[in-house]
């Protein structure tokens, strides 16, 4: 646990963000290895199938992710206020919700996989492998939710290091297993999904055993567990907008996939590969934003608004430097990065075009993300949701469709930075209004605290 309400803002945020960044780099590494192994040893159809599965998976888990984010904010504010009894009730409530929803989501994913991929206009030669990967992967959703729930609680308490250790274990296991199941056992895309389930399951079990034995506040147990309606409703107020945002963003990504898929398997495979690279490249900004959100939550809970602005400035400076560095690296070595996933020259050329266009604007995306994280940490999550949905549904998707009709696939690629620019403009204007300062879940008996 780490108190973020005292000390140098830049140093605290950096120290908190780095373990999360390393953990997510490991987590994305095994996702990338999955795609590399699938693309190289099974084929571009399999690569497209795995890539098409992820926006669908993200739709199904988005509301739960939003709920977890809401609990992270609540826990961070209660920790800032040193209200340990409420922290315990928050953890119990989170565990109950994650168990119930993981069962429901697994049943939904198995029942409607065919209809979902048909709706995405996935090429006919890709759908069977997409269904196989997707339904297998979702059987392990309880392990995924469990581990991410533990991580959310620990982040709220200022502990970003413990989840890193278990992510490293999961990454190493997944890489070993995917090589074994796909290359040696020849299990196809199902082997890639099974390797992820096993890796996440073992990592979750180890994290539970460790926390129950060594952690003072976090105990994962369903004995004497209590559901707190008030905390649940608070978490919905804070987390539901983020969850809905992720859901509609995922639906939007499916809509984009439908536009992409209309251009055929080569474009679908290229898009699947660049999504992996794109996600990897955006990790620094995303993890610094999460760290800033927790920092803001604790300092709002401690009624230290001045430190919030200092934390935003420090985070902006750090993430801007990283964004520029990453953009240059991806642009210079785009073809080499694409070659990791496939040897098909057409797919490589299509993906390289995407990387040059989109990665040139990472600084815009980073700035938008950092400002949004301040609002979320303060508990003001509704406006970031509206801004995100506006930039996606009213800007990116219409532009993707319109430009693709006139300029082909590159029109889809250009719609992405156009959406980022619009999102940044609106989120910055709202931040400057300052309404986010009054959204705390903690009440102060002494405003001068």
Place of tokens 């430190």: 307
Longest dimension (CA), the chain: 66
Which stretches within 42-161 are classed as H helix?
44-80, 84-111, 113-119, 127-138, 141-156
Residue with tokens 């803002």: 9
Per-residue pLDDT, 2? 66
Q: Identify the pLDDT of residue 417.
A: 96
- What global pTM score does this model have? 0.74
Rounded distance between C-alpha atoms, residue 308 and residue 94, angstroms:
27
For residues 287 and 23, what is the distance between their CA atoms, to the nearest angstrom?
A: 10
Provide the 3-class DSSP secondary structure of residue 185: coil
Q: SS3 for 105?
A: helix
- Give me the half-sphere count of Cα atoms (radius 13 Å) on the Cβ side of residue 353: 16
Contacts of 125 (CB under 8 A, 6+ apart): 45, 265
pLDDT value, residue 446: 42
Nearest CA among 97, 72, 80 for reference residue 379: 72
pLDDT string in tens for the chain (449-residue length): 567 788 888 998 998 888 878 877 877 777 788 889 999 899 989 999 998 888 888 787 777 777 777 777 788 878 877 888 888 888 888 888 888 888 998 898 888 888 888 888 888 888 999 999 999 999 998 888 888 888 878 777 777 778 778 888 888 999 999 999 999 999 999 999 999 999 989 988 988 888 788 777 677 776 778 888 888 888 888 777 767 777 887 788 888 888 999 999 999 999 999 988 988 888 899 889 988 988 888 888 788 888 888 999 999 999 999 999 999 999 999 999 999 999 899 999 999 999 999 999 999 999 999 999 998 888 787 888 888 889 989 999 999 999 999 999 999 999 999 999 999 999 999 998 887 777 665 555 444 44
Alpha helices, DSSP H only, in 262-390? 265-301, 305-332, 334-339, 345-359, 362-377, 382-389
The DSSP secondary structure of 429-447, one letter per residue, reads: HHHHH-GGGG--SS--SST
The residue written with tokens 């168990």 in the block is 99
Q: Please report the pLDDT score of residue 182 as a whole number.
A: 94
Read off the tokens for 29: 């590494």
- Residue 429: how many other CB atoms lie within 10 Å: 10
């Amino acid at each position: 646990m780490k108190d973020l309400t005292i000390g140098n803002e830049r140093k605290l945020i950096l120290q908190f963000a780095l373990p999360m960044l390393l953990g997510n780099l490991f987590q994305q590494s095994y996702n990338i290895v999955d795609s590399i192994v699938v693309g190289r040893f099974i084929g571009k159809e399999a690569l497209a199938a795995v890539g098409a599965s992820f926006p669908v998976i993200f739709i199904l888990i988005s509301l739960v992710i939003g709920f977890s984010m809401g609990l992270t904010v609540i826990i961070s504010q209660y920790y800032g206020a040193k209200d340990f009894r409420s922290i315990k009730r928050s953890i119990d409530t989170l565990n109950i919700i994650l168990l119930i929803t993981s069962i429901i989501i697994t049943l939904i994913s198995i029942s409607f996989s065919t209809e979902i991929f048909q709706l995405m206009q996935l090429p006919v030669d890709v759908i069977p492998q997409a269904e196989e990967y997707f339904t297998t992967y979702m059987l392990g959703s309880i392990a995924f939710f469990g581990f991410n729930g533990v991580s959310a609680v620990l982040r709220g308490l200022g502990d970003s290091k413990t989840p890193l250790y278990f992510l490293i274990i999961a990454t190493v296991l997944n890489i070993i297993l995917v090589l074994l199941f796909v290359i040696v056992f020849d299990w196809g895309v199902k082997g890639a999904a099974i390797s992820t389930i096993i890796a996440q399951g073992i990592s979750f079990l180890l994290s539970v055993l460790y926390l129950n034995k060594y952690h003072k506040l976090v105990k994962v147990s369903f004995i004497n567990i209590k559901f707190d309606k008030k905390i649940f409703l608070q978490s919905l107020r804070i987390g539901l907008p983020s969850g809905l945002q992720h859901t509609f963003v995922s639906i939007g990504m499916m809509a984009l996939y439908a536009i992409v898929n209309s251009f055929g398997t080569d474009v679908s495979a290229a898009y699947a590969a660049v999504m992996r690279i794109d996600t990897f490249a955006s990790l620094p900004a995303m993890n610094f934003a999460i760290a800033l959100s927790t920092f803001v939550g604790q300092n709002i809970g401690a009624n230290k608004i001045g430190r919030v602005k200092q934390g935003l400035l420090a985070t902006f400076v750090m993430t801007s430097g990283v964004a520029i560095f990453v953009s240059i690296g991806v642009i210079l070595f785009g073809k080499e990065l694409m070659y990791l996933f496939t040897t098909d020259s057409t797919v490589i050329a299509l993906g390289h075009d995407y990387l040059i266009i989109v990665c040139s604007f990472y600084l815009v995306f980073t700035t938008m993300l950092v400002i949004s994280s301040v609002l979320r940490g303060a508990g003001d999550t509704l406006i970031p949701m509206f801004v995100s949905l506006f930039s996606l549904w009213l800007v990116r998707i219409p532009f993707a469709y319109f430009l693709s009709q006139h300029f082909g696939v590159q029109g889809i690629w250009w719609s992405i930075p156009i959406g980022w620019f619009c999102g940044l403009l609106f989120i910055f204007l709202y931040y400057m209004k300052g309404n986010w300062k009054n959204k705390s879940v903690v009440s102060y008996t002494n405003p001068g605290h």
